[in-house]
Chain A
C-alpha cells in the first residue's frame, strides 16, 4: 500500500499503487436537475459498445431513480452498510475509505453482486421516497421526492478496479486518464467487479473477460464527447478536463463548476476513489440525502446553483451543455451568448442565453402570402 493525496477528502489515504496523475484527466459534469431519465444515453452506449454476445445484461451507462433505483440491485446501499456510517468534519473526511477498510487478505472493501442483481435495471423508476396518501402540495425540499441519477464509469483518479486486479490488467491512460481493462490480458477473475464500488465493470461470459466503459476513447482521441454525452437530449452533460484544485482555470467549464463555483460534486466521495464525474445535485431533495450521496458540500451547491437566476455567466454555461458534440475545454459568456472552445481554443459553438423570438410579417407581398399562427 502507498500513501496518496485525495483532494476530495482533503487528506492523504492509502492506495495499492503510488499516486500518479495523468497528463490530463477526463472529467464530466452531470446536471441532475436537467436529467429526464429517458435512457437515450443508455441506448447510445448499448448500441455502440455492448450489443454483442455475453453483453446482453451489461449497461456501461445507466440512469436510475433515487432513492429506490439500483443497477445492480442495492449496489450502493449494500456497500454503505458494509462501510458503516462515516463523518466529515470541517470539509475533511474523517471516515475510512474502501481501501482503508479492506478486510484481511483483501485489497479493497467490496462485494460481488449476484447475476440476478443485474436484472430489472430500471427497478425503482420514478418511485417517490414516501407514500402519497391523497392530494398534496410540495415545496422544495419536497416532502416526498425522487430524482434521476445518470451513471457511467467515473474514470477515477484512484480506481478500485485497477487496484484490485491481481494481474495488473487494468490501467489508466496517461494522456486522458481513461481507465481500461486490457482485453488481451484479462483472465476474467472478476476482482474488478467485486472491488468497483460503483459496480461499473462487468463480466462477459462469452469472452470470459471483464469489460467496462471505455470513455469512448476512440471519440475522445478525435476531440469528441462520448456517446452518452453527444446523445444526451436532457442536455445534462458536459465532458472536459479537470485540473487539480490549485491549478483551476476559470475559463475551463469543468474547473469553473467543480473548483471555482463548487456546484458540481463527486458521487460518494467517501469511498475514496476521487471519481471524475461531477454532479450538480437536485434542488428539491433533503440536505441529509444530498450529503450522503455527494458529500458535505451538497446543500451549498444547491444554493449556488440557484444563483443562475441572476448570474448570466452561470446560466450561459449551463445552457451550453449538449449544444455541440465536441469536447468543451474552455468557455466564455457575454451579455447575450455563451461560447465553447476546444482544447486549442478554437470556437466550438455559441448559443444565446435566451432563445430568440422571431416575428414575421402578417403578409409577405413579395411572395403574395400571409403568414399565420392559425393557418
Chain B
C-alpha cells in the first residue's frame, strides 16, 4: 500500500516494496515502516540512513532560506586599498547576505588587455559582515546636534569680548546629550557658525584674539588675517572617492566666504585649510621622496608572481592585504622564496620559507647591516649605481655639501636640460597634469640646484654631471666615475679642499658601524640570518621584491629606514623591475591615479563652469597643512631658541573641523585623550558626516547622517596602490534605510545655506550637478583630464560596475611598477640630480646629522637612549647638538627628545637606557593593524567582533567584558609571569606619565578614569620579551561608554545615550601613543614632485613631505588590575583548563609533542 508523503513528519510513508525489501534486515529497527492505525497514526522507522531516508521534504526549508528576491552590486572601500565590488542579496527588502561578484577576471582596458579569474573572489569577512552594519543600532539615522552647542547657537553664539572664546558651559563634549534636527536647520547652523568663526578671527582684531588665546605667533601669521584659514577639513583618504574630495572642493570654495568677510576679491581671497590623510595616518614612507623625489615607490602585489625572492618586511601581508594574500602563497608554491621579517612570529610568518624576528624600530640598522655584507663581499651592481644613483657624486668634506661645477668655475653655466625635462621660465605655469609628458622645473630651482660632479677615473679629473645624464644618457657620456677615493680640488676662490664620492662616505659609515655581529646586537637578527639574507638578495639582483609595511614606517626613524632600504635595493639593482623593486604598503593614497582631480577639487569658485561638457577652470585658494600639528596640541615644533617647523609647513589655529567618513583623526587619533582634553576645548565647531556612530561622533557638535556604500544614490570612483583596478561605486537600487544623504550632497546643502546667508549664488553653483543628481559630470571631467583614465566613459564604467566588473587603471605597466620609466626609459628621477639620492646636504639634514642614511634609535620604543644617532666618530656626521638648540644636554623629555641630535657609537649606546627604565617602564608598546578590522571599520559587529581576538564571547559569560570582545595586550608569557600577571587577567597599562594619557592629567579626574588604559593581558608566545602589542583597530572608551559599563544592567561599555560601543572598559590603545614631529620631515628645501603630474618643487607638500608622527612608539609599565577568571576570581577559563601557552594540561603537552599517533613502516 502507498500513502502519499507530505511535509508532515507524523504522516511519513514508504512503498510496500521498500517495506518488503528491508523487512528482516538487522535486528535493530528491523522495519522501514510499520503502519499501525491506532489514533490514525504512523510511527516512522529508519533502517539504514546511509542508504535511504524516508520523508526528505523538510529539506525545502534551507532552499527557502537560500532563495533571495534580488541582488545588486556595491563597492566596499574602507581605507584598505582593496576596493571590493560586492553583491548584496535582498529578501523582503532586506539585505540578508553579501558575497563576491566574480567580475574581476573580466576587467579590461581600452587596449584589450585582460585580467584573469585568479583575481576572484574579492571580498573579506568585514565586507560580508556589513549586513549587520546597514541595520545596526550605531547607524546614524538622521542629523543630530549636541544640545549644549544648539543652546550656544540659539543664544546668538556669545563670546568672550577679549579672547573671542565661547563660554565653556556650552562645550561639554563627550558628556553632553544629543537631539535630532532637520537637515536644513543643521546645515544653516554650520554655515552660520563658519561665518561667525571666520568673522571673529579675521583681520588684525582676529589675530589679537588668537594671540590672547595663546596661539603661536607664526601660526597666527600663517593665517594672513583670513578667518577662513582657521576652518579645517578632512574627508578621509581622498583616493577613496570624489565624495571624499568634495570636502576639499568645499574648503577651496570657502574663498568666497573670505571674500564676503574681507572683500578680498578673486586674487587675494583665501579658502579654508585641508588636512592630510596619507601622512596623517603615518602611511607615507617619508624617505621615499628623499630618495626618489616622488611620494612613494610601490608595486601591485601580484608582481610577486615575477619575483625570485620576496622580503615581507614589517608588513603583515596576509592579514592586511587579505584579497591579495593568495598572490604571495601562490608565488611561493611556484618557487618564489619568501622571507618574513617582523618583530614577532606574525600571522604572515607561517607563510614564510624563512622567518627573521627582529627588535622593533631597528629597520635602518638591519638594512645597513645587510648592505655591509654586500659591500664587504663585493656583491653589488656597480654599473647600476653609476647609472641611476647619486653615489658617484662628489661631496665637499669642508661644508659636507655636494660639489658643484660652479664651485670650481664661477662662470660655469648649468647645461640646458632636455631629457624628459622642461625648464619653466619665471611666471610660466605647467600644463595640467594629465597633459604633462615631461618633468617641469622652475628656472629658479634649476639655477639653485645647478649641476653636479663626479671624478672620471679615465680622464683622471672631476667632470660635471647633469640631471639629464641617467641610464643610457649616462652611458653616452663615456664617464667612468670613481665610487671610492678622496680627491683634493681647488675651488674657484683658490682654496684647496678634499672631496669624496657619496658611495665612499656611505660605505665608510656602514663598514664602521654595521658588521653582522653589531647589527645582530642592535636588531636581534641572528648573524647567520643577516649574512644569508644579504647573499640571497645579491643572488636575486633585479628579482627581489622588498615589501615593507606599516610596522617599520610608524617609528620616528622611518625616513632613515627608507633611505637605508633603498641603498640596499640600489646595490642589488632591485629598483623599477616588475619582479625587483621596493614597495611601501600602508593606506590607499595615490590620488594622482586620477591626476585630473583638480578639475573637481580646485574648480575656481569665482568662475564656476556650468556647462557639463566643458572642463572646469582651476584655481587654488585653499591651503593644506598636516593634521599632526593639530594632534600635537595645535602647536608647531619649537625649542626655546629654535623653530623646527618649516615656513611652508606652518599650521594655523584650528577653530572648526569637518570630518567626513573618518574616525582616524579624532576617535582613533594617536594621543586621543590629549586631543580630547587639551585641544578640542579650543575648537568651536566639530562637524561629522558618517553612516556609523564612531568615537569621533561622540565628541562632535553636529553629525550628519550619510548614505552607506550600499545606498549610494550618487556614483563615485576609486583606485588602488596594491591592485591594478579602477573601481566605480555604482548607484544602487536599495532604498535609503534611514534619513541619510550622500556626503557630497551634505557639503552641497551647507553651501546652499552659505549662498543664502551671503547672497553669493556661486556657493550654490559650485554644487549644481550634485543638486541635479549628475555627479558623473564632475567624474567624467576628472577621467578626461587624468593621465591613466583618459579614454574611459564614466557611464560605461558604472554599467560594468553594476555587473561587478572593474576596469584596469591604464598605468604604463600592469602590475604598476614604480621607477619603471626611470630604469627602462632612462628618464630622470624626480630629484635635484635626476638620480636616486642617498646623500642630503640641505641645511635641515646637516643640522640633524642625517646627511647620510644613519640609524637612529626609536624616539620612545627603545631600551636605550631614545633618538640617538648610532655612529662611531665620523667627521661627516656633525649635527647641531642639544645646547646649540637651547636644550639641556640631560633633557630627555618627550618634547625635547624630538629635537635632540646626539651621536654615539653602538658600544656607547649599548650602555645607555631609556630615561623611564628605572621607573619600571620596560616594555615596547606597538599598535599594528589587525585582520579583523580595516581601521575601526566594522569591528563592532557581533559576528565579526567575536573573532576579534581570543576573548570573543557572544554570550558574554563575564559581565566585565565591555562587548562581545575586548581589547587586550599581547605579552610574552615569561615577561607576564615575572610581573605576576596571568593569561587573561585585567591589567593597567601606563605610558610616560609626563604626557600620557594626556598632558596635565590628575588622579581622580573623571577624564583620567576614562583615559587610563585597562584591558586584558593575553599570553602571546610569538612576541619577543620586552615587546608588547595591542591592535590599532578598536573603539576606545568615552565618557558615554564608561557610563554604560558602570550603570547598564548588562555591563556593556555602550553609551546609554548614543549606543556608542567601546571595546575597552577604560582607555584605549591610543592611551599610550602621542604626537611626534621630526625636523627632517618639515623642511622648506626638499625637492619633490608635485602630487599631481610631473612638475617639481621644494618644501612642504601634503602627503608627500610633511610630518608622519610615530604612532607605534611608546614604552609602558604594566600592573595587574583584576583576576581574569569569571567574576574576578581565579584564572581565565582557557588558562584554567590548561589550553593556553605555558598552562598546558598533560594532554595538550602530548598533543604539542605529536604523541597521539605514531607511524611505523
Contacts and interface: CB of A to CB of B under 8 A. Distances in A.
- Give yes or no for direct A-B contact (beta carbon below 8 Å): yes
A162 B820 CA distance: 61
B1025 A133 contact: yes
B843 interface: no
Nearest to B1093: A375
A36 B931 CA distance: 9
Which of B118, B302, B357, B931 has the most chain A CB atoms closer than 10 A to its own CB? B118
Interface in A262-290: 270, 282, 284, 286-290
B950 A352 contact: no
Given A217-B62, A233-B123, A372-B787, A70 B1139 contact: yes
Interface string B103-125: 00100011101001110111111
B3 interface: no
A5 interface: no
B523 interface: yes
Interface in A303-324: 305, 308-310, 315, 318-319, 322-324
A292 interface: yes
A291 B1159 contact: yes
Contact of A18 (B26, B944, B1023, B1093): B26
B974 A131 contact: yes
A363 to B, nearest CB: 6
Interface string B192-208: 00000000000000000
Contact of B1133 (A57, A89, A116, A144): A116
Interface stretch (B636-644, B728-736, B1148-1156): B1148-1156
Nearest to A177: B50
Contacts of A355: 116, 118, 302, 305, 327
A183 to B, nearest CB: 6
B1133 A233 contact: no
Contacts of A104: none
Interface stretch (A80-88, A193-201, A245-253): A80-88
B329 interface: yes
Contacts of B7: 184
Interface string B652-675: 000000000000000000000000
Contacts of B120: 322-324
Contacts of B1146: 81
Nearest to B579: A357
Nearest to A63: B947
Contacts of A231: 99-100, 121, 123, 128
Nearest to B82: A233
B952 A372 contact: no
B347 A134 contact: no
A171 B53 contact: yes
A73 B1137 contact: yes
Contacts of B957: 116, 119
A344 interface: no
A172 interface: yes
B59 interface: yes
B346 A126 contact: yes
A47 to B, nearest CB: 5
B945 to A, nearest CB: 10
A38 B1022 contact: no
A206 interface: no
Contacts, number: 475
Interface residues of B, number: 168
Contacts of A87: 1157-1160
Given A137-B356, A355-B116, A367 B1024 contact: no
A68 interface: yes
B53 A358 contact: no
Contacts of A95: 1157
B524 A171 contact: no
A67 B1152 contact: yes
A182 B1148 contact: no
A88 B129 CA distance: 44
Interface string B340-355: 0000111101111111
Contacts of B488: none
A132 B1137 contact: no
Contacts of A134: 357, 524, 1024-1025
Given A73-B1137, A372-B821, A360 B111 contact: yes
B65 A119 contact: no
Nearest to B297: A374
B453 interface: no
A145 interface: yes
Interface string B956-987: 01000000000000001110000000000000
7 contacts: A33-B351, A88-B1158, A121-B946, A123-B950, A131-B972, A134-B524, A323-B118
Q: Which 7 A/B pairs are nearest by Cβ-Cβ distance?
A: A135-B524, A288-B1154, A168-B46, A296-B1159, A171-B49, A171-B53, A137-B529
